[in-house]
């Protein structure tokens, strides 16, 4: 369900690196050439390009990029060029250091990646920042948010299909009881949301819906301005319907006065090799406008061209 379009005949690695070097040199930067290469290579190919470029020219490709381009276009190219786990580590570090209750990035990384992917993110974080993701989250996040986010980013969930229906029923009752008493930061809620496998958690949430006549997210809207409730809803939506979750992030990034470029860039660069096609379909269904058209109407220049390339525009 990726939107990334890689040419059927990919040029030789040396040719890609040579053309990138040419794009950076001279009086002006050839932004179109940068997009035509990096915007149409998958993660393994980009990783190989970075290594070959460094070996050939004695300079990290990311350094060459930051020296030659800037602004939203630079951020989009840099995030995209990074290995997926390294990209998530960078996003997590930015979020942890400047954390505020309304920032959903840690939830997105912890809840929309698989167990092996999240483990790779933690390894990449170690390598890049010489600290653990968990300790940085614990150092910068406070209160119920810390109780929730530290175990979320530390988790390694079982990914098998097995479901214990009796457990799903009992834990649905526990969730309902705690939410009914507005004990949103209760240890039991956090234990269930941060440790259960996706299959088990989905069974519990379905049982909640069947038993109490409405989805759990409805009960978590008791106070729409409560950021912790918003975070709990984000956890659940990232697990149950990531395409619709990220559609909403993209929609809110584009809607209103001014564009939230960071959120729009994050959605497109992190999902282009995963499920951006499903996100595009959800956006079209929800807004009756193609996501490509909305992005083109709200962005401009090389930044727009880069995002549209990752969206799969011909």
DSSP output for 236-270: HHHHH-HHHHHHHHHHHHHSSSS--HHHHHHHHHH
Average pLDDT on 190-212 reads: 98
Count CB-CB contacts under 10 A for residue 13: 15
Answer for the pair 172, 211: CB distance below 8 angstroms, yes or no. yes
CA distance readout (Å), 20 to 56, 96, 236, 271: 12, 33, 42, 24
Task: Confirm whether 2 is domain-assigned.
Answer: no
Query: Binning pLDDT at 50, 70 and 90, where does residue 286 land?
Result: very high
To the question of whether residue 296 is assigned a binding role by annotation, the answer is yes
Phi/psi zone of residue 301: left (φ > 0), alpha (ψ -120 to 50 degrees), beta?
left
Task: Confirm whether 109 is domain-assigned.
Answer: yes
pLDDT of residue 14: 98
To the question of whether residue 185 is assigned a binding role by annotation, the answer is no
Average pLDDT on 234-246 reads: 97
Mean model confidence pLDDT for the chain: 97
Are 65 and 110 in a shared domain? no
To the question of whether residue 298 is assigned a binding role by annotation, the answer is yes
Residue in the structure block whose two tokens are 């038993």? 211
- For the cut 90, the answer to whether the pLDDT of residue 282 exceeds it is yes
Out of 240, 268, 285, pick the residue that ends a domain. Answer: 240
pLDDT of residue 258: 86
Residues spanned by the domain of 17: 13-69
CA angle 1, 291, 76 (to 5 degrees): 80
CA distance 20 to 41: 13
Number of domains in the chain: 4
Average pLDDT on 139-149 reads: 97
CA distance 33 to 38: 9
Task: Confirm whether 1 is domain-assigned.
Answer: no
Burial track 45-83 (b if 16+ CB lie within 10 A, e otherwise) = bbbebbebbbeeeeeebeebbeebbeebbbbbbbbbbbe
Are 98 and 137 in a shared domain? yes
To the question of whether residue 26 is assigned a binding role by annotation, the answer is yes
Instruction: Name the DSSP letter for residue 12.
Output: P
- For the cut 90, the answer to whether the pLDDT of residue 27 exceeds it is no
Structure tokens at 37: 């290469």
To the question of whether residue 28 is assigned a binding role by annotation, the answer is yes
To the question of whether residue 129 is assigned a binding role by annotation, the answer is no
Burial tier of 290 (Cβ tally within 10 Å: 0-12, 13-18, 19+): middle
Phi/psi zone of residue 46: left (φ > 0), alpha (ψ -120 to 50 degrees), beta?
alpha
Average pLDDT on 162-168 reads: 98
Average pLDDT on 166-194 reads: 98
Percentage of the chain modeled with pLDDT above 70: 100
pLDDT of residue 257: 82
To the question of whether residue 304 is assigned a binding role by annotation, the answer is yes
Query: Binning pLDDT at 50, 70 and 90, where does residue 28 land?
Result: confident
Query: Binning pLDDT at 50, 70 and 90, where does residue 306 land?
Result: very high
Are 93 and 63 in a shared domain? no
Tell me the whole-structure pTM to 2 decimals.
0.96
Structure tokens at 186: 């209760």
- How do residues 73-103 score in pLDDT, each as one tens digit? 999 999 999 999 999 999 999 999 999 999 9
Phi, psi (deg, nearest 5) at residue 256: 80, -165
> Which CATH number characterizes residue 248's domain?
1.10.220.10
CA distance 225 to 286: 23
Percentage of the chain modeled with pLDDT above 90: 96
Query: Binning pLDDT at 50, 70 and 90, where does residue 288 land?
Result: very high
Task: Confirm whether 42 is domain-assigned.
Answer: yes
Answer for the pair 131, 125: CB distance below 8 angstroms, yes or no. yes
């Amino acid at each position: 369900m990726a939107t990334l379009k890689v040419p059927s005949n990919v040029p030789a690695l040396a040719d890609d690196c040579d053309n990138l070097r040419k794009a950076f040199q001279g009086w002006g930067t050839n932004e179109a050439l940068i997009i035509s290469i990096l915007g149409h290579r998958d993660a393994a190919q980009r990783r190989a390009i970075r290594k070959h470029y460094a070996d050939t020219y004695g300079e990290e490709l990311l350094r060459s990029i930051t020296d030659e381009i800037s602004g939203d276009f630079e951020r989009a190219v840099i995030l995209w060029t990074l290995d997926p786990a390294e990209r998530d580590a960078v996003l997590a570090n930015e979020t942890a250091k400047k954390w505020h209750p309304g920032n959903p990035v840690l939830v997105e990384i912890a809840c929309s990646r698989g167990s092996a992917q999240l483990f790779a993110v933690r390894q990449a974080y170690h390598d890049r920042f010489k600290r653990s993701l968990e300790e940085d989250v614990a150092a910068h996040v406070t209160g119920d948010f810390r109780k929730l986010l530290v175990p979320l980013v530390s988790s390694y969930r079982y990914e098998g299909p097995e479901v214990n229906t009796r457990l799903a029923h009992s834990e649905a009752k526990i969730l309902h009881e705690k939410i009914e008493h507005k004990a949103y930061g209760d240890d039991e809620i956090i234990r269930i949301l941060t440790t259960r496998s996706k299959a088990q958690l989905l069974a519990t949430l379905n049982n909640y819906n069947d038993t109490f006549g409405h989805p759990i997210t409805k009960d978590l809207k008791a106070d729409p301005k409560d950021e912790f409730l918003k975070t709990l809803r984000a956890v659940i939506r990232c697990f149950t319907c990531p395409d619709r979750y990220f559609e909403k992030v993209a929609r809110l990034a584009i809607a209103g006065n001014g564009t939230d470029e960071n959120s729009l860039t994050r959605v497109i660069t992190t999902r282009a090799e995963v499920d951006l096609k499903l996100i595009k379909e959800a956006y079209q269904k929800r807004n009756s406008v193609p996501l490509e058209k909305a992005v083109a109407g709200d962005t401009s220049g090389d930044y727009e061209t880069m995002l549209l390339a990752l969206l799969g525009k011909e």
